[in-house]
């Protein structure tokens, strides 16, 4: 499975501190490996995709058999708009 991180998500990850950024990348790798059981992931309602929660930050992504597409990453209050 391939991981694609959109430009807006790349910019948000670049602004984060290195510890938080590393947690997101490790979580994306775990999702791709099929070991997402201990991650806080929920299906979005009213919109396609899933959200991954790490602390006060969220990542919005879609997933199919060959692609994990990270659409956006940001603080809890701003990510859903």
Chain mean position to CA 69: 8
- Quick check: 52 pLDDT over 80? yes
Structural domains of the chain, count: 1
The answer to whether position 58 is within a domain reads yes
> Residue 51 forms beta bridges with which residues?
42, 60
The answer to whether position 79 is within a domain reads no
Q: How far is CA 55 from CA 4, 34, 36, in A?
A: 22, 22, 16
The answer to whether position 39 is within a domain reads yes
Chain mean position to CA 42: 11
Is there a contact between 49 and 61 (Cβ–Cβ < 8 Å)? yes
pLDDT digits (tens, 9 = 90+) for 11-48: 999 999 999 999 999 999 999 999 988 999 999 998 89
Token reading at 56: 């006060």
CATH number for the domain spanning 18: value is: 3.30.2310.20
- Quick check: 80 pLDDT over 80? no
């Amino acid at each position: 499975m391939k991981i694609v991180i959109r430009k807006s998500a790349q910019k948000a990850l670049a602004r984060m501190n290195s510890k938080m950024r590393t947690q997101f990348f490790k979580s994306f790798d775990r999702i791709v490996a099929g070991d997402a059981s201990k991650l806080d992931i929920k299906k979005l309602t009213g919109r396609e995709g899933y959200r991954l929660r790490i602390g006060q930050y969220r990542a919005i992504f879609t997933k199919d058999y060959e692609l994990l597409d990270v659409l956006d990453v940001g603080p809890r209050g701003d990510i859903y708009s």
